[in-house]
C-alpha cells in the first residue's frame, strides 16, 4: 500500500490522524532542532541550539524562579527560573534520537535472529530462540538499568541498554512472519529459480514482514521514549545540566503539588507523544491488515 493512500486512509479515522499529527510534529521539530544543535556543536557555537527558542535553556534566571504558566512562560519556570517549555523543546531531539535508534536497532537485530530461525527451523530455530528467551527472562527495565548503571551515564550507553532489551520482541515477530511467509507460493518460485537462502531472506522474507513490523515499531517509538524517560527519572539519563523530559519530571516532584507545573507538564508532554505513537500505530495496523 502506497504512502499517500495510507495517509488518506488515516484521514478517515480521527484517532490515527491525531496520532499522525502528534508524531509528525514531534519528529519534525526534533529534526530541525537537532540539526541546529549539531551545527552549534560542530562550529563551537552552542547558541545555535536555541536560536529558535525564547531563551537559553541552561542559563538560570533566579528572579523568575517557579513562575506559574502565563503568556510570558506558557509552561511556567523551574526552580532556577528557566523556561520549562524552552527546556522541553530543547530536549526533544534527544528523545527522538533515542526512540529512532532503539526501535531501528531492535528491528535490525530482531530480523537477523528471527528470520533465519523461522526460515530454517530445526537447530537454527532452537538456538536463536533460546538465545532470545535468555534476554526475555529478565525484566526489561531492570536489565536496562543494570546495563546503564554498569557502563555509565552517557547517551550512547542508554541507547545500548534499550536496544539490548528491545530486540527480543522483534525476533519473535520476525520468526512468526518467516514461518508464515516461507510456505507461500512466491517463495517456492524463488527456490525453483535458484535463489540462495540468503537472497530469499533479504529480498523476500524481510520486505514481506515489514507490514506487520511497521505498526508494531510505530507504537514502540512511544514506548521507547517512555522507558528512556523512566531511566532519566531514575537518574540514568543524560547528565545535568542538559534537559531531559524524565529528569525534569523527577526534579519537579520536590515542588509538587504547590508548584505543580514543574513536574506535571513535562510528564504530560511524555504522555501526549507516547499516546500519539500508540494511536498512529493502531491505525496503521488496521489499515495494513485490511490492505494485506
Contact 273, 280 (CB under 8 A): no
* Residues in contact with 188: Cβ distance below 8 Å, sequence separation at least 6, in sequence order: none
Q: Report pLDDT for 131.
A: 92
CB-CB contact of 103 with 224 (8 Å): yes
pLDDT of residue 7: 63
Alpha-carbon torsion angle 237, 243, 245, 249, nearest 10: 100
Residue-level pLDDT at 144: 82
Q: What is the pLDDT of residue 200?
A: 85
pTM above 0.85, yes or no: yes
E runs forming strands in the chain: none
Distance from C-alpha of 82 to C-alpha of 86, rounded to nearest angstrom: 8
- Note the pLDDT of residue 6: 62
Residues forming beta bridges with residue 77, ordered by sequence position = 83
What are the distances in angstroms from CA 54 to CA 137, 157, 240? 47, 31, 20
Q: Are 118 and 102 in contact (CB under 8 A)?
A: no
Residue entry with cell 516461507: 182
Instruction: Tell me what pLDDT residue 10 has.
Output: 64
- pLDDT in 10s for each residue of the chain, 292 residues: 455 566 666 666 788 889 999 999 999 999 999 999 999 999 999 999 999 998 999 999 999 999 999 999 999 999 999 999 999 999 999 999 999 999 999 999 999 999 999 989 889 999 999 999 988 887 777 888 888 778 777 888 888 889 988 999 999 999 999 998 888 888 878 878 887 888 888 888 888 888 889 888 999 999 999 999 998 898 887 777 889 999 999 999 999 999 999 999 999 999 999 999 999 998 888 777 665 4
Question: Which of these, 88, 209, 94, 87, lies nearest to 162 by C-alpha position?
Answer: 94
Q: Which residue has the cell 490515527?
A: 16
How far lies 64's CA from each of 8, 57, 82, 176, 245, in Å?
46, 13, 7, 56, 21
Question: What are the structural domains of the chain?
Answer: 82-291 (1.10.3720.10)
By CB neighbour count within 10 A (0-12 exposed, 13-18 middle, 19+ buried), where does 194 fall? exposed
Gap between the Cα atoms of 127 and 133, Å rounded: 10
Q: What is the reported pLDDT for 259? A: 93
**Nearest-CA neighbor of 285 among 101, 93, 9?**
9
Of 162, 143, 138, which Cα lies nearest the Cα of 229? 162
Amino acid at each position: 500500500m502506497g504512502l499517500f493512500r495510507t495517509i488518506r486512509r488515516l484521514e478517515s479515522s480521527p484517532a490515527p490522524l491525531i496520532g499522525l499529527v502528534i508524531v509528525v510534529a514531534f519528529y519534525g521539530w526534533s529534526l530541525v532542532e537537532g540539526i541546529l544543535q549539531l551545527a552549534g556543536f560542530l562550529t563551537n557555537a552552542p547558541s545555535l541550539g536555541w536560536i529558535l527558542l525564547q531563551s537559553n535553556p541552561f542559563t538560570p534566571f533566579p528572579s523568575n524562579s517557579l513562575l506559574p504558566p502565563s503568556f510570558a512562560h506558557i509552561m511556567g519556570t523551574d526552580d532556577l527560573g528557566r523556561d520549562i517549555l524552552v527546556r522541553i523543546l530543547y530536549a526533544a531531539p534527544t528523545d527522538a534520537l533515542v526512540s529512532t535508534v532503539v526501535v531501528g536497532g531492535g528491528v535490525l537485530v530482531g530480523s537477523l535472529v528471527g528470520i533465519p530461525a523461522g526460515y530454517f527451523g530445526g537447530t537454527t530455530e532452537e538456538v536463536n530462540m533460546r538465545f532470545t528467551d535468555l534476554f526475555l527472562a529478565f525484566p526489561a527495565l531492570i536489565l536496562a538499568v543494570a546495563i546503564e548503571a554498569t557502563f555509565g551515564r552517557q547517551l550512547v550507553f542508554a541507547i545500548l541498554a534499550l536496544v539490548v532489551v528491545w530486540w527480543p520482541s522483534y525476533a519473535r515477530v520476525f520468526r512468526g512472519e518467516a514461518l508464515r511467509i516461507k510456505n507461500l507460493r512466491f517463495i517456492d518460485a524463488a527456490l525453483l529459480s535458484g535463489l540462495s537462502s540468503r537472497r530469499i531472506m533479504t529480498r523476500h522474507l524481510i520486505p514481506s514482514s515489514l507490514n506487520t513490523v511497521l505498526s508494531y515499531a510505530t507504537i514502540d517509538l512511544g514506548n521507547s521514549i517512555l522507558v528512556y524517560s523512566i531511566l532519566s527519572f531514575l537518574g540514568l539519563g543524560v547528565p545535568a545540566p542538559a534537559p531531559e523530559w524524565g529528569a525534569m519530571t523527577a526534579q519537579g516532584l520536590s515542588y509538587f503539588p504547590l508548584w505543580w507545573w514543574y513536574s506535571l507538564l513535562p510528564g504530560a508532554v511524555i504522555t501526549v507523544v507516547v499516546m500519539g505513537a500508540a494511536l498512529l500505530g493502531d491505525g496503521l495496523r488496521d489499515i495494513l491488515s485490511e490492505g494485506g
